[in-house]
Structure 1
Amino acid sequence: MAEAPRPAARHGAFHPLTVASVERLTEDAVALVLQVPGGLRAEYRHAPGQHLTLRRTTPEGVQIRRTYSICSAAPAPDGPGPKLLRVGVRLVDGGAFSTFAHKEIAAGDVLDVMVPAGRFILDPAAAPACGHYAAIVGGSGITPVLSIAASLLAARPDARFCLVRGDRSAASTMFLDEVADLKDRYPARFQLVTALSREEQEAGLPSGRLDEERLATLLPALLPVTEVTGWFLCGPYGLVQGAEQALGALGVARNRVHEEIFHVEDTAAPAARPSATDAPAHGRVTARLDGRSGTWPVRDGESLLDAVLRNRADAPYACKGGVCGTCRAFLVTGEVRMERNFALEAEETEAGFVLACQSHAVTEEVEIDFDR
């Protein structure tokens, strides 16, 4: 998987964007279409699969940030940046931002939007000749994969893409028309398989969840599993974990599997970089962000991100739950303990990257770099 392109914008910068329209996708999902002014189009150039962080402050003064993937195809690398950006928002029970998006946001409103970020991407220009790609998605996990598939198939006439998607019912399935359009435009190169867990289909798979056992049987019947150039898994934690285990059992190399998790229950992920001791340090963190460095104390039990935010309000973050990867930083010196990691892939943690929101200092001196 290729590295995301460096935006021209300041790292983690927010800009006000006007809502062009709010499109109803299902009873519990909408698409927000955002206008990008001409002077900001270069900053909002995005790779297929990247996301936007949206920010609002409630009437009570509480700041809320949420990350939503861009579902529109990426702009051509040699053309201007996008005039419009489209993100999908599914309503979450009690969700502070998703409820706001569904009940209050209207065309003409202005939202604070961070420049695109994320490494769950596929660069069509870097794809090998005759590349064969596949994705397994659940629910709103279709959002970044829609951008990936549309961008790849449009840019590479020799590429193929297989989409295996699961949802509760046809009525709850996001982007039905957009996926159908891909099938109409690329009938020989786009393969679609849909599984509904709470509804029988007239044709296709019988109802049921896409769990590890089912995928282990289904996937070899669809395509040559080990010959696929890259697998993209996106959706709830359980689906992604089950798909990863099924692919591993079928002999797929781990470096061909790329994951993005949209929802995690109260489950702890193993620390990606185990420390020699679990005792927190009363020490200092040095952080580099947008070319400027500073050193500040770390309070007892405080994450590195929170320590930096007390002194640099522009430090990048969104979920603070170890899921979105917005706060990714390179560990220059020192040692940390990560509580959860659902965002960084194995090669990233092995290279020394950490999630600042989940990292706690183990050594007295820690240095991290947000600019790498």
Structure 2
Amino acid sequence: MARFHPLQVAAVDRLTDDSVALTLTVPPELRAEYRHAPGQHLALRRRVDGTEVRRTYSICSPAPDTEGPSSLRVGVRLVEGGAFSTYALKEINVGDELEVMTPAGRFTLEPAPGLYAAIVGGSGITPVLSIVSTLLAREPEARFCLIRGDRTAASTMFLEEVADLKDRYPERLQLVTVLSREEQQAGLPSGRLDRERLAGLLPALLPVERVAGWFLCGPYGLVQGAEGALHGLGVDRARIHQEIFHVDSGPTAAGTASAAAHSTVTARLDGRGGTWQAQEGESLLETVLRNRPDAPYACKGGVCGTCRAFLVSGEVRMDRNFALEQEETDAGYVLACQSHPLTEQVELDFDR
């Protein structure tokens, strides 16, 4: 069960003009709870004018050993008007305490031999940095091709960290950088990594059919374009993993079915169950939160997947889904923050 604990800020490192890396100290008694897989994320929370604000940030540090991490590092990029990112860049100092949820997320890779690849844009490098560094350190028979797109060199997050990895594993890490607003002295011409460009670029860079896993991370448009290019190249959907950042708009994942006028929601959470009346227009998560404030969530936008739950019975309408893979929805999982009851009774299990 996901839980929040106060963690002390050990370092605040400026990465670019609009991004920082926060290093958090994990005390020995909490290290088992903060053990994480490469690619997982943390939810951070604070109160602003009496309102709780939660934001999700991917862990960029390598996955720890079995004892758990002594520290965690996350990357934060400033979002215009962002309640948490503005606070992180302008106010957080070494020694401050932040409320941090235990790790979550399924955009992960268990180290194994083989060839892997990632297509990332902007801050999408953050979870992939953890994936790449863990994979290459633990599995000598693994190789990785990292294709990253950024606006300019000055706006590129974790530039030095990626360069260090390339120096450490020159034969096993292939690095391709594309800048959309700046010409490079060497390498590919400037421009965006859209579907058409990737469809021509990828076969020239690596044997697409031999890649065991593709990891797509970044803005909605980049991830959708990369996925389309891979489908066009014959890559099986099971080998494509994606995590979307910065969804301003996008298609809904469901039809137009109307929510039930009167519905009760039963939920099992941390071993305890309860049944409550849903109020008109609210999501399943909102119903549960009114009665169980400890229900897990972070973004409430269908992006992070923290509120993932198993639909035991009943039917729901899920408005948006940018977090669950097709296999998960086929198995019966839903995002509680985006789901509305279509039947008079709905039962969820957050523990499954």
TM over 0.5: yes
In the other structure, the counterpart of 2:124 is 141
Letter in 2 for 1:27: D
1:365 aligns with 2:345: yes
In the other structure, the counterpart of 1:66 is 55
1:240 aligns with 2:220: no
In the other structure, the counterpart of 2:69 is 82
Q: How far 1:226 moved relative to its partner?
A: 1.6
1:171 aligns with 2:172: no
Q: TM-score, normalised by structure 2?
A: 0.99
| Secondary structure class of the residue paired with 1:208 | coil
Q: CA RMSD in A?
A: 0.9
Q: How far 1:181 moved relative to its partner?
A: 0.8
Q: How far 1:80 moved relative to its partner?
A: 1.4
Distance across 2 between alignment mates of 1:360 and 1:256: 30
Distance across 1 between alignment mates of 2:36 and 2:312: 27
1:96 aligns with 2:83: yes
Distance across 2 between alignment mates of 1:138 and 1:249: 20
Q: How far 1:278 moved relative to its partner?
A: 2.4
Q: Is the 8 A contact 2:120 2:149 kept in 1?
A: yes
1:45 aligns with 2:25: no
| Secondary structure class of the residue paired with 1:170 | coil
| Secondary structure class of the residue paired with 1:286 | strand
In the other structure, the counterpart of 1:181 is 164
Distance across 2 between alignment mates of 1:341 and 1:282: 24
In the other structure, the counterpart of 1:251 is 234
1:305-339 per-position Cα deviation (integer Å, ceiling 9, x unaligned): 00000000000000101011000000000000001
Q: How many residues align?
A: 352
Superposition pairs of residues 1-372 of structure 1, within 5 angstroms: 11-58=1-48, 60-76=49-65, 79-124=66-111, 127=112, 129=113, 131-271=114-254, 277-372=257-352
Q: How far 1:269 moved relative to its partner?
A: 2.7
Distance across 2 between alignment mates of 1:41 and 1:192: 33
Distance across 1 between alignment mates of 2:281 and 2:47: 26
Q: Is the 8 A contact 2:57 2:76 kept in 1?
A: yes
1:181-200 per-position Cα deviation (integer Å, ceiling 9, x unaligned): 11111111000000000000
Distance across 2 between alignment mates of 1:200 and 1:282: 59
Distance across 1 between alignment mates of 2:200 and 2:248: 27
In structure 1, runs of 5+ residues without a counterpart are 1-10
1:260-317 per-position Cα deviation (integer Å, ceiling 9, x unaligned): 001112223322xx68x42434110110111111100111111000000000000000
| Identical positions, percent | 74
Distance across 1 between alignment mates of 2:80 and 2:282: 29
Distance across 1 between alignment mates of 2:228 and 2:108: 21
Q: Is the 8 A contact 1:287 1:308 kept in 2?
A: yes
Distance across 1 between alignment mates of 2:250 and 2:222: 14
Q: TM-score, normalised by structure 1?
A: 0.93
Q: Is the 8 A contact 2:259 2:340 kept in 1?
A: no
Q: Is the 8 A contact 2:9 2:97 kept in 1?
A: yes
Q: Is the 8 A contact 2:259 2:317 kept in 1?
A: no
Q: Is the 8 A contact 1:299 1:307 kept in 2?
A: yes
Distance across 2 between alignment mates of 1:304 and 1:149: 36
| Secondary structure class of the residue paired with 2:84 | helix
Q: How far 1:47 moved relative to its partner?
A: 0.2
In the other structure, the counterpart of 1:3 is none
Q: Is the 8 A contact 1:269 1:342 kept in 2?
A: no
Distance across 1 between alignment mates of 2:243 and 2:274: 31
Q: How far 1:227 moved relative to its partner?
A: 1.3
Q: Is the 8 A contact 1:280 1:301 kept in 2?
A: no
Letter in 2 for 1:74: A
Moved over 4 A (4+): none
Distance across 1 between alignment mates of 2:175 and 2:291: 49
Distance across 1 between alignment mates of 2:341 and 2:145: 43
Letter in 2 for 1:75: P
Distance across 1 between alignment mates of 2:248 and 2:200: 27
1:36-92 per-position Cα deviation (integer Å, ceiling 9, x unaligned): 01100000000000000000012x11110000000000012xx31101100000001
Distance across 2 between alignment mates of 1:66 and 1:186: 33
In the other structure, the counterpart of 1:7 is none
Q: Is the 8 A contact 2:79 2:86 kept in 1?
A: yes
